[in-house]
Structure 1
Amino acid sequence: MTEEHTIAENLRRVKDRIADAALAAGRRPEDITLVAVSKTKPAEAVAEALAAGQTVFGENRVQEAAAKFPSLRAAHALSLHIIGGLQTNKARDAVRIADVIETLDRPKLADALEVAMAREGRAPKLLVEVNTGAEPQKSGVPRAEADGFIDDCQKRFGNLLAGVMCVPPRAEDPRPHFTWLAGCARRHGLATVSMGMSADFEIAIACGATWVRVGSAIFGAR
């Protein structure tokens, strides 16, 4: 188990790096939100991060998040993001537990989320995930379809559609992907650009990220 001071120290280092990257890009550090990715990590590790002042967390799997976060939420003010590909049959569970769903990527999922929001009486913020690298194994709307899909989602969800998200191919320079996504957000008047992980979040900030999703640099290797 990672010791508490180690998670706290890792958080401090990551936040310092975020601040340095923001300042280097002529931006304000407070305009960058750190999403601590706690997937596969136990609730105790999340509690350690909470004790160190971190309040925004990301989980890939709805089932894991549903098992881990209700008790943590009862004791702490926190925000939970679903950042993994979402099946339509998990839409209601996601709406029930999440504050943000970052992986809206197809009309059927939009349909399922709309129904789930009505039934649950909850309205999490939504991000459209774009598969900027056209990788068949990854979720995300293709680039060529992104503008039309975003337009449709803005008409359907209004201000609940907060922004866009991507995960660039590992073997490629992420800069063109990050630059494209930031431009996409600007075209649609969306304020949130979720991009950048442990290996490249400083590059993402230089390219316009407003949210960065960092896991292993905080919690250690999975």
Structure 2
Amino acid sequence: MTEKCFEERFRDVEENYKVITNRIAEAAVRSGRKPEDVTFLAATKTVPAEVINHAIGCGLRFIGENRVQEFMDKYEKIDWDKGVSGQIIGRLQTNKVKYIIDKVDCIQSVDSVKLAKEISRLAEKIGRKMPVLIEVNIGGEESKGGIEKAALPELLEEIAVLPGIQVNGLMAIPPICAEKSALCN
């Protein structure tokens, strides 16, 4: 990426960061909450490390990556020393857990007992308890990961006892708009 392109992206990041944090603050106040009680996590899929670091410089403290390989490619280039939390927000295969278990602060896409057991096993091995979110496919969409709503109680019951994980909540993405419109694109 050229220096000029980075300059444009940096300006966009600064502007978008301000807009989003203002919207978060306004929404928090309207709902009777404090803005600092809301977590602003930026999905960094396909975003270069230089741009992510610029967002960190603007105040961003939570980044979420969809793919383990992309996370690993960027890992050494991110300004982690500025108090940033890296999280996995995309589908995670059990054979990839070993690469990120000591690098992320939360895994937001647990959707099976098998995956939860592997996370727990590897977290215990390094002496930590990994915070996780259970991914729920609330729209029943085939194109999205996550467990069906009806399967949630059983999954929670089975994984709540695993010593290397801590279930902190749910992660769900709303269904895709049924109608094509400017808002859905």
TM-score above 0.5:
yes
Answer 1 or 2: which has greater helix percent: 1
Match of 1:132 in 2: 138
Q: Which sits farther off after the overlay, 31-40 or 148-157? A: 148-157
Identity %: 34
Matched, 1:11 2:17: yes
Q: Which sits farther off after the overlay, 149-158 or 32-41? A: 149-158
- Asked if the contact 1:95–1:122 (Cα under 8 Å) also holds between the matched residues in 2, the reply is no
TM-score, normalization by structure 2: 0.85
Q: 1:39 aligns with which of 27, 36, 45?
A: 45
Secondary structure of the residue that 1:97 maps to in structure 2? coil
Secondary structure of the residue that 2:41 maps to in structure 1? strand
User: Closer, same or farther in 2 for the Cα pair 1:87/1:75, shift >3 Å?
Assistant: same
Structure 2 Cα separation of the partners of residues 120 and 73 of structure 1: 23
Shift of 1:157: 4.3
- Asked if the contact 2:109–2:134 (Cα under 8 Å) also holds between the matched residues in 1, the reply is yes
Match of 1:93 in 2: 99
- Asked if the contact 1:129–1:140 (Cα under 8 Å) also holds between the matched residues in 2, the reply is yes
Write the deviation string for residues 74-110 of structure 1: whole angstroms up to 9, x where unpaired.
5432100100011111111131221110001101101
Secondary structure of the residue that 2:64 maps to in structure 1? strand
- Size of the aligned set, in residue pairs, is 175
Q: How does 1:57-72 map to 2 (within 5 A)?
A: 57-72=63-78
User: Closer, same or farther in 2 for the Cα pair 1:68/1:107, shift >3 Å?
Assistant: same
Match of 2:171 in 1: 165
Shift of 1:121: 3.4
- Asked if the contact 1:91–1:113 (Cα under 8 Å) also holds between the matched residues in 2, the reply is yes
Structure 1 Cα separation of the partners of residues 165 and 128 of structure 2: 14
User: Closer, same or farther in 2 for the Cα pair 1:67/1:89, shift >3 Å?
Assistant: same
- Asked if the contact 2:87–2:107 (Cα under 8 Å) also holds between the matched residues in 1, the reply is yes
CA RMSD of aligned residues (A): 2.2
> What stretches of structure 2 of length at least 5 have no aligned partner?
none
Structure 1 Cα separation of the partners of residues 93 and 136 of structure 2: 16
- Asked if the contact 1:134–1:142 (Cα under 8 Å) also holds between the matched residues in 2, the reply is yes
